[in-house]
Amino acid sequence: MFLTVPTLLTWARIVAIPLIVGVFYLDMTPDHQNQLATVMFVVVALTDWLDGYLARKLNQTSSFGAFLDPVADKLMVCSALLVLLKLQRVDAFVALVIIGREITISALREWMAQIGAARSVAVHMVGKLKTTAQMVAIPFLLYDGRLFGVIPTHVWGTWLIYAAVVLTIWSMVYYMRKAVPEIRAKAR
């Protein structure tokens, strides 16, 4: 099911990535760039929930959609982290850990699927918590101001992105430990 409504929403997330990044190249004040990029990121991120909901509700789940959805998420997060790195709102260490984990776990999942052990590295609650922390931290860091004149988004975003780093490392260790017995069994 290449062109279902849920899959089109996932494609829209991918297409939106250069648009969000492009906001920082527009001739606007930094505050306006931050606000526009934040709103775009949040709206696009919400389509992640919506495409999954619609896929189940409309009975339009597909293996292609299951493949494309996490790819769109990872591209979105990695792109946002690179923008935040360029804007000096996250450390290189943060971007390296999160992006490195995404590449490592994606490769591990692909390999585990090839050896028939995909269930060993199925999505776990720690991974979901990591994603939640990232998806709240990133818009806070993109906004980089006082939300409603009260909430210091840079401070909260920084705390949350470091929490995401801890959860990122924890989830990577968790997935690797789950994979090791399968790897050993297949190596014999």
Based on the domain organization, do 106 and 82 belong to the same domain? no
Domain that holds residue 125: 90-188
Based on the domain organization, do 111 and 27 belong to the same domain? no
Based on the domain organization, do 36 and 124 belong to the same domain? no
Distances, alpha carbon 139 to alpha carbons 24, 36, 43, 100, 134, in Å: 14, 11, 11, 21, 9
Based on the domain organization, do 94 and 166 belong to the same domain? yes
Based on the domain organization, do 76 and 124 belong to the same domain? no
What are the average pLDDT values for consecutive 10-residue runs of the chain, which has 188 residues? 82 94 95 96 91 85 82 93 96 96 86 71 79 94 93 96 95 84 72
Directed axis angle between helix 30-57 and helix 5-22, to 10°? 170
Contact 66, 137 (CB under 8 A): no
Based on the domain organization, do 102 and 29 belong to the same domain? no
Based on the domain organization, do 84 and 117 belong to the same domain? no
How many folded domains does the chain comprise?
A: 2
Based on the domain organization, do 63 and 103 belong to the same domain? no
- Could you give phi then psi for residue 17, rounded to 5 degrees? -55, -55
Based on the domain organization, do 103 and 80 belong to the same domain? no
What pLDDT score does 36 carry?
Answer: 97
Based on the domain organization, do 140 and 66 belong to the same domain? no
Based on the domain organization, do 82 and 104 belong to the same domain? no
Based on the domain organization, do 68 and 95 belong to the same domain? no
Cβ atoms within 10 Å, residue 3: 7
What are the counts of helices (DSSP H) followed by strands (DSSP E) for the chain? 6, 2
Given the structure tokens 């430990």, which residue do they identify?
A: 177
Which residues make beta-bridge pairs with 147?
151
> Residue 80: CB partners within 8 Å, gap ≥ 6?
20, 41, 138, 142
Q: Report how far Cα 131 is from the mean position of its chain's Cα atoms.
A: 6
